[in-house]
Amino acid sequence: MMLEFIQHLVNGLSLGSIYALIALGYTMVFGVLQLINFAHGDVYMLGAYIGMYTAHFFQLGQNSSVLALIFTITVSMITCAVVGFLIEKFAYRPLRKSPRINVLITAIGVSLFLEFSGQLLFGPDPKFFPQIFKPSGDWSIGELKINPLQILVFFISIILMSVLQTIIFKTRLGRAMRAVSFNHDLASLMGIPTHRIISYTFMLGSGLAGAAGVLVGLTYPKIDPLMGTMPGLKAFVAAVLGGIGNITGAVIGAMTLGLAEEFLVGYWAPTYRDALAFGILILILLFKPTGLFGVKQTEKV
Amino acid sequence: MNKSSGVQSTGLTQEKLLEVEKVSVYYGAIQAIREISFHIAQGEIVTLLGANGAGKTTVLRAISGLIKPSQGKISYRNEIISKLSPDQIVRRRICQAPEGRGIFLNLSVFENLDLGAWTAPDPKTFDKDLNQVFELFPRLGERQNQNAGTLSGGEQQMLAIGRALMGHPELLLLDEPSLGLAPQIIEKIFEIIQKINCDGMTILLVEQNALQALHIAHRGVVLEAGNLVTQGTAQMLLSTDEIRKAYLGE
Ligand SMILES: Nc1ncnc2c1ncn2[C@@H]1O[C@H](COP(=O)(O)OP(=O)(O)O)[C@@H](O)[C@H]1O
Ligand SMILES: [Mg+2]
């Protein structure tokens, strides 16, 4: 009984931390642009493929070390950050003064573009993600067996989130990001170059999604060009659950969703895994649209 | 190019720091200001007066580059700035304390002030500048780690002004600093405005509170429904019965 519980807990935290890495990008971009970046899940997909190709190229599947993993994650994060930069610059920036609906349609367009480009470039069939970090076996504590990969995913995510937290709350760049998310005009009256800060925000969010792509490849080693859709939607739900725009809220929302999913699947109804997120979304939108930790957005002039 | 006979020497240098020439601004199809022309000389306090909706904030937004004039031009130190972006204009040392106590309510008092220094010419003067602001507004020093949203209205206004000062302005734009504040606090803020002007800063002061503003200003510019209706020395505006009646609420 207890063993099973701990098992689900570990799985839930690991899954939740992957949702959290993706949800942070949604929530940060929403913070600065009031935009739901529907292409974000696809950036996560790209992250997985970039990780795969990096591992193949450097033949990391054979050394299988933490260093190889860190290297792969770094390459994927940097590449995804560049992709995020380009998406913002070429798809969203020209629409900065357009009606919200135009931007939303563009976001869906970018998402489809990335998915079809992925199918074209990587092939539509699932591929195996190389085992760049392969633990020698499960950790057993008495009868409890834990896959060290799950723990590793959790810890790497925590480290990345702490770095992000530090950037946002302790650096001048983070201060500028929070200023821009409060009000663009006011931020630019400080001399803050708002376009550039928005670019940085996309880069940070996309980098985290890239890391999530690699971590998922590590634990669920089949990747395909449409793999971003479902986790993307779920991370979005997690961001809404935590109050979209709220950094801490996104992490808590994602962890809640990850745990809820694992416990639901483990104890009750395995086939309803994907339905849970949508159920939560509907409930939140009905009863508390600002999310659990959301404050009412200050209206823009 | 004196447009109005009211523009006279105020005993200050006559070097034009800022010149607004025939500037019109539209919001969509609505014209907010129509061919506005005035200038500010180095060292002056010029007050921009007018009722609610007259177009005062729009003039400040145009100077700061938040909105582009559809006609006319704005120059600063003989350089046309009306095509520059807001952050480039701040780098020319034109800083604004926006209306409605426009401060970052999601940041602390200290963080607000720090952002005000984003373009400060020399980062090494930060501590000194901060202390100067705290000397002017001791309440801000006491509350520097508090969230700006927890400040009272007067303190928020002080923060908006203090934050603008952190950017080392040569021209300070103040949008209705007295709005919604108690009379004693208004008096204090006006005193401080006068003090920083005496220390050499040029100020464009937007006010509805015309009498009080004219008492500290060198010159005034009066807007009505988007048009400039009169401008002249503060003395002249204060002494003309007609103007007192029509624009100063008497
Ligand atoms: N963002 C906006 N969109 C449309 N009209 C606006 C906007 N801002 C101001 N206006 C209009 O422009 C005119 C001038 O406004 P404003 O410059 O704010 O006046 P003031 O600061 O003197 O009260 C007003 O009629 C106002 O309704
Ligand atoms: Mg106004």
**Alpha-helical segments (H) within A147-269:** 148-170, 172-182, 184-189, 194-219, 229-241, 247-267
- Six token digits for residue A23: 């949800």
Instruction: Tell me how far the alpha carbon of residue A217 lies from the centroid of ligand 1, in angstroms.
Output: 54
pLDDT at B1 > cutoff 60: no
The answer to whether residues B42 and B86 belong to one domain is yes
Closest approach atom of ligand 1 to CA B52:
23
ipTM of the complex: 0.90
Q: Is the CB of B57 under 6 A from ligand 1?
A: yes
Residue A49 near residue A223 (C-beta atoms within 8 A): yes
Domain boundary (B168, B190, B205) is at B168
The answer to whether residues B199 and B239 belong to one domain is yes
Distance in angstroms (rounded) separating the CA atoms of residues B194 and B201: 9
- Assigned domain for B232 exists: yes
Q: Give the strand pairing for B202-207 and B45-49.
A: parallel
Q: Is the CB of B29 under 6 A from ligand 1?
A: no
To the nearest 10 degrees (0 to 180), the angle between helices A247-267 and A148-170 is 160
Closest by alpha carbon to A63, among A130, A127, A128?
Answer: A130
How many angstroms separate the Cα of B62 from the Cα of each of A90, B55, B240?
A: 28, 11, 30
pLDDT at B125 > cutoff 80: yes
The answer to whether residues B137 and B32 belong to one domain is no
Q: Provide the sign of the torsion angle of the four alpha carbons A248, A249, A250, A254, taken in this order.
A: positive
Average pLDDT, chain B: 91
Instruction: Tell me how far the alpha carbon of residue B58 lies from the centroid of ligand 1, in angstroms.
Output: 6
Q: For residue B136, what are the domain limits?
A: 102-168
Which residue of A32, A168, A181, A190 is the best one to mutate when testing the B interface, meaning the one whose CB has the most B CBs within 10 A? A190
How many angstroms separate the Cα of A5 from the Cα of each of A11, A18, A266?
A: 10, 20, 9
Instruction: Tell me how far the alpha carbon of residue B57 lies from the centroid of ligand 2, in angstroms.
Output: 4
Q: What is the pTM of this model?
A: 0.90
CATH number at residue B190: 3.40.50.300
- φ/ψ of B172, rounded to 5, equals -105, 125
B98 vs A179, A181, A189: nearest CB: A189
Whether A175 and B114 lie within 8 Å, measured CB to CB: yes
Residue B64 near residue A189 (C-beta atoms within 8 A): yes
Residue B220 near residue B204 (C-beta atoms within 8 A): no
pLDDT at B242 > cutoff 80: no
Q: Is the CB of B184 under 6 A from ligand 1?
A: no
Domain boundary (B168, B191, B222) is at B168
pLDDT at A207 > cutoff 80: yes
pLDDT at B97 > cutoff 80: yes
**Higher pLDDT, residue B32 or A294:** B32
Which residues in chain B are contacts of A243 at CB distance < 8 A?
Answer: none
Whether B96 and A192 lie within 8 Å, measured CB to CB: no
Report pLDDT digits (tens) over A137-146.
788 877 788 8
The answer to whether residues B89 and B186 belong to one domain is yes
Domain boundary (B136, B153, B168) is at B168
B104 vs A179, A188, A193: nearest CB: A179
Distance in angstroms (rounded) separating the CA atoms of residues A260 and A22: 17
Contacts of A15 (CB under 8 A, 6+ apart): A258, A261, A262
Looking at residue A88, the DSSP 8-state letter turns out to be I
Per-residue pLDDT at B2: 39
Per-residue pLDDT at B240: 79
Residue A41 near residue A228 (C-beta atoms within 8 A): yes
Distance in angstroms (rounded) separating the CA atoms of residues B56 and B207: 8
Residue B74 near residue B25 (C-beta atoms within 8 A): no
The gap between the terminal CA atoms of chain B, to the nearest Å, is 32
Which residues in chain B are contacts of A183 at CB distance < 8 A?
Answer: 102, 104
The answer to whether residues B115 and B163 belong to one domain is yes
Report pLDDT digits (tens) over A213-270.
999 999 988 999 999 999 999 999 999 999 888 899 999 999 999 999 999 988 887 7
Whether B104 and A183 lie within 8 Å, measured CB to CB: yes
pLDDT band at B249 (very low <50, low <70, confident <90, very high): low
- Six token digits for residue B25: 């601004």
In chain B, what percentage of residues exceed pLDDT 70?
91
Contacts of A286 (CB under 8 A, 6+ apart): none
The answer to whether residues B87 and B175 belong to one domain is yes
Instruction: Give B38 to chain A, closest Cα distance, Å.
Output: 22
Residue A49 near residue A227 (C-beta atoms within 8 A): no
Closest approach atom of ligand 1 to CA B176:
21
Quickly count: other Cβ atoms within 10 Å of residue A1's Cβ: 4
Q: What distance lies between CA A232 and its chain's CA centroid?
A: 7
Closest by alpha carbon to B38, among B30, B27, B53, B55?
Answer: B55
Quickly count: other Cβ atoms within 10 Å of residue A242's Cβ: 29
Q: Where are the domains of chain A?
A: 10-123+145-232
- φ/ψ of B96, rounded to 5, equals -125, 135
Contacts of A252 (CB under 8 A, 6+ apart): A242, A292, A293
Which residue of B57, B87, B111, B119 is the best one to mutate when testing the A interface, meaning the one whose CB has the most A CBs within 10 A? B87
Quickly count: other Cβ atoms within 10 Å of residue A20's Cβ: 29
The answer to whether residues B66 and B181 belong to one domain is yes
User: Which range is least confidently modeled, A116-125, A214-223, B233-242?
Assistant: B233-242
- Assigned domain for B1 exists: no
The answer to whether residues B236 and B199 belong to one domain is yes
Contacts of A130 (CB under 8 A, 6+ apart): A52, A55, A56, A60, A61
The answer to whether residues B177 and B81 belong to one domain is yes
Which residue of B118, B165, B171 is the best one to mutate when testing the A interface, meaning the one whose CB has the most A CBs within 10 A? B118
Instruction: Give B9 to chain A, closest Cα distance, Å.
Output: 32
Sheet order of strands, B219-224 included: B94-97, B171-175, B202-207, B45-49, B219-224, B227-233
Determine whether A245 is exposed, middle or buried from the number of CB atoms within 10 Å of its CB (0-12, 13-18, 19+).
buried
The number of folded domains in chain B is: 2
Give the residue, by CA position, lying nearest to ligand 1 atom 14: B55
User: Which range is least confidently modeled, A26-30, A121-125, A271-275?
Assistant: A271-275
Per-residue pLDDT at A91: 97
Per-residue pLDDT at B82: 95
The answer to whether residues B87 and B112 belong to one domain is no
pLDDT at B79 > cutoff 60: yes
The answer to whether residues B53 and B123 belong to one domain is no
Q: Go through B42-75 and write b for each residue having 16 or more CB atoms within 10 A of its CB, e for each that does not.
A: bbbbbbbbbeeebbbbbbbbbbbbbbebeebebb
Looking at the DSSP assignment, which residues form a beta bridge with residue B220? B47, B232
Report pLDDT digits (tens) over B150-191.
999 999 999 999 999 999 999 999 999 999 899 999 999 999
Q: Is the CB of B27 under 6 A from ligand 1?
A: yes
